[in-house]
Structure 1
């Protein structure tokens, strides 16, 4: 059946998601419209397609026993020179994200993924672009703030065109899929509504 590249993340809701996506595009990041604005829980991971139903069940189980929590973005940070990334900082909600990502990557689960770097939840706004543009992203979004209540996370699949498309939302407290996060403006990242049963 082949392999697929998946990721799990918390979508940044509107209007913040589209605003940051457009700013990322404005800084010259060519990947901006192929990646919904998000906080990563599981980085890009290649799996056998036949494992997807087990992964979906695993994620639903985690969501069913998870509670909503506040997330707040404020200011900018960077991973340079280690990694060419500028991001908006997550100043509230990091503990909730960390708990979720640990459970998703649990050794006993279907995606026991090792991380290249220690987990650090954030929202990328520039990646792999010239230093002058990275500096501009860092400076222009230094005063940015946003806050919302996180009530779900989502499973995404990366297409052959390198665009990430949402497969399912996993709503906290129910574990059922829901279409609670709309597509961001100008972004081809939503797939058609899908049944929980693949």
Structure 2
């Protein structure tokens, strides 16, 4: 599974320990649908980061290879699961974010997050982990209100069969590996 709009590994620079992300990508059709809605609220900046669910946004506390091996191990032992996105939530007034709720699959996301942090990974966000999918961030009040209102009845289900391991290189996030849950082949 690839993440549209984010580079994929090839002959790219060597990864470094200062940035590491682990995410759940969406199926292409669902990602396109949510991207279209996000473009209404955020304009052209919406395409910079494709829709996803973040499991870890941080860095490694050891070498990149040790961190990557840990992520591979966590993925290999985790089972595929279903995520249900239902309606909106917000982090306001603490943070100007409108998101889609993870109504089903949140426990599995939290378990993956905790297992990932049990190894040489550090989560660098200033807030507690809450599985969600951002639809609007740091916008003016009319755009935030529109996002909350229009996405309030949104619902979608998809199977999570893999997680993506990313590095931040050259000004953007780059997919290093797509890792199947349960050790199978990536979708």
Report the TM range for the smaller structure's normalisation: 0.7 to 0.9
Aligned pair 1:105/2:117, yes or no? Answer: yes
Aligned pair 1:136/2:150, yes or no? Answer: no
Which structure 1 residue ranges, 4+ long, deviate > 3 Å from structure 2? 1-4, 112-115
Match of 2:66?
54
Over 3 Å counting, the alpha-carbon distance change for 1:146 and 1:79 in structure 2 is: same
Aligned pair 1:25/2:39, yes or no? Answer: yes
Q: How many pairs were matched up?
A: 173
Query: Residues 90-148 of structure 1, C-alpha deviation per residue, up to 9 Å, x if partnerless?
Result: 10000000000001011xx1114365222110000011111110111111111111101
Match of 2:183?
174
- Cα distance in 1 for partners of 2:159, 2:69 equals 24
- Cα distance in 2 for partners of 1:171, 1:5 equals 21
Q: Give the TM-score normalised by the residue count of structure 1.
A: 0.79
Match of 2:7?
none
Alpha-carbon deviation of 1:158? 2.5
Secondary structure of 1:173 counterpart: helix
Out of 101, 110, 118, the position equivalent to 2:128 is 118
- Cα distance in 1 for partners of 2:42, 2:121 equals 33
Alpha-carbon deviation of 1:60? 0.8
Kept in 2: contact 1:70–1:150 (CA 8 A): yes
Q: Give the TM-score normalised by the residue count of structure 2.
A: 0.83
Secondary structure of 1:28 counterpart: helix
The answer for unaligned runs of 5 or more in structure 1 is 181-198
Aligned pair 1:157/2:171, yes or no? Answer: no
Kept in 2: contact 1:61–1:175 (CA 8 A): no
Match of 1:84?
96
Query: Residues 165-190 of structure 1, C-alpha deviation per residue, up to 9 Å, x if partnerless?
Result: 222111011176x3x3xxxxxxxxxx
Alpha-carbon deviation of 1:47? 4.6
Secondary structure of 1:27 counterpart: helix
The answer for unaligned runs of 5 or more in structure 2 is 1-13
- Cα distance in 2 for partners of 1:113, 1:143 equals 31
Name the structure where helix makes up a greater proportion of residues.
Answer: 2
RMSD after superposition: 2.1
Kept in 2: contact 1:62–1:175 (CA 8 A): no
